[in-house]
Structure 1
Amino acid sequence: MPRPPMFQRATVTRVIEETADTRTFVLAPHSGPFTYQAGQFCTFRVELAGEELLRSYSMSSAPETDSELAVTVKRVKDGKVSNWMIDNLAKGDEIEMTTPHGVFCLRDDTDAPLLGFCGGSGITPVISLAKSALTGTNRKVRLLCADRDRPSAIFYDALAQLAERFPGRLEVVRHLDSEHGIPTAATIQEFVGNDAGADCYICGPTPFMDLVESAWPGPGKLFVERFGAVPAGPAAPETAEDKEVEGTVTIILGRKKISVPRRANETFLESARRGGLTPPFSCESGTCATCMAKLVDGEATMRVNEALTDDEVEDGYILTCQGLPKSANVTVRYE
Structure 2
Amino acid sequence: MKRDGDTFELAGSRLTRPGFWSALPERWTSDAEETLVCCQVRQETHDVKSFFFTSPQGRAFVFEPGQFITLELEIDGETVNRCYTISSAPTRPHTISITVKRVPGGKVSNWLHDNLQAGVTVRVLGPAGEFTCARHPARKYLFLSAGSGITPLMSMSRTHHELNEDRDIVFVHSARTPDDIIFARELDLIATNQGNFRTSFVCERVGARTNWAGITGFLTLPLLKLIVPDFMEREIFTCGPAPYMKAVRDLLDEAGFDRGHYHEESFSFETLAESAAQVLQDAAHDAAPTATGDGAQTATRFAVSFAKSRRDIECGSDQHVLDAARQAGVRLPASCTQGMCGTCKVKLVSGQVEMKHNGGIRQREIDQGMVLLCCSKPLSDLVIDK
Report TM bin, short chain: 0.7 to 0.9
2:257 — aligned with what?
218
Cα distance in 1 between the residues matched to 2:279 and 2:117: 44
Cα distance in 2 between the residues matched to 1:109 and 1:239: 35
Q: Aligned to 2:105, which of 78, 81, 94?
A: 78
**3-state DSSP class of the match of 1:236?**
helix
Deviation of 1:223 after TM superposition, in Å, equals: 1.2
Confirm whether residue 113 of structure 1 aligns to residue 169 of structure 2: no
Cα distance in 2 between the residues matched to 1:237 and 1:102: 25
Q: Deviations over 1:194-226 (max 9, x none)?
A: 131311111111100111112124226111111
**Long gaps (5+) in structure 1:** 253-257, 309-317
1:153 — aligned with what?
181
**3-state DSSP class of the match of 1:86?**
helix
Cα distance in 2 between the residues matched to 1:332 and 1:222: 41
Cα distance in 2 between the residues matched to 1:15 and 1:191: 34
Larger radius of gyration: 2
**3-state DSSP class of the match of 1:213?**
helix
Instruction: Give the residue type in structure 2 aligned to 1:236.
Output: Q
Deviation of 1:192 after TM superposition, in Å, equals: 3.9
Instruction: Give the residue type in structure 2 aligned to 1:202.
Output: T
Give aligned pairs, total: 306
Structure-to-structure mapping, 1:25-64, within 5 angstroms: 25-31=51-57, 32-64=59-91
**3-state DSSP class of the match of 1:321?**
helix
Instruction: Give the residue type in structure 1 aligned to 2:223.
Output: T
Distance 1:273 1:114, change over 3 A: same
**Long gaps (5+) in structure 2:** 1-28, 207-215, 291-298, 306-310, 360-370
Give me the TM-score of the superposition, normalised by structure 2: 0.66
Cα distance in 1 between the residues matched to 2:103 and 2:93: 27
Query: Does structure 2 retain, via aligned residues, the 8 Å contact 1:61–1:71?
Result: yes
The higher relative CO (CA closer than 8 Å, separation ≥ 6) is in: 1
Cα distance in 2 between the residues matched to 1:286 and 1:199: 25
The two structures, once aligned, show a CA RMSD in angstroms of 4.2
Q: Aligned to 1:68, which of 88, 95, 98?
A: 95
Q: Aligned to 1:269, which of 295, 316, 322?
A: 322
Distance 1:5 1:185, change over 3 A: farther
Structure-to-structure mapping, 1:82-161, within 5 angstroms: 82-108=109-135, 110-136=137-163, 137-161=165-189
1:288 — aligned with what?
340
Is the helix fraction higher in 1 or 2? Answer: 2
Distance 1:210 1:94, change over 3 A: same
Query: Does structure 1 retain, via aligned residues, the 8 Å contact 2:103–2:109?
Result: yes
Deviation of 1:107 after TM superposition, in Å, equals: 3.5
Structure-to-structure mapping, 1:178-327, within 5 angstroms: 178-179=205-206, 180-216=216-252, 217-219=256-258, 221-228=261-268, 229-230=271-272, 231=275, 236=281, 247-249=300-302, 261-262=314-315, 267-271=320-324, 283-286=335-338, 288=340, 290=342, 307=358, 321=374
Q: Percent identity?
A: 24
Distance 1:62 1:239, change over 3 A: closer
Instruction: Give the residue type in structure 2 aligned to 1:269.
Output: L
1:311 — aligned with what?
none
Deviation of 1:70 after TM superposition, in Å, equals: 1.2
Deviation of 1:157 after TM superposition, in Å, equals: 0.7
Instruction: Give the residue type in structure 2 aligned to 1:178.
Output: R
Cα distance in 2 between the residues matched to 1:283 and 1:139: 37
Cα distance in 2 between the residues matched to 1:238 and 1:26: 40
**3-state DSSP class of the match of 2:231?**
coil
Instruction: Give the residue type in structure 1 aligned to 2:48.
Output: T
Instruction: Give the residue type in structure 2 aligned to 1:8.
Output: E
Cα distance in 2 between the residues matched to 1:45 and 1:100: 13
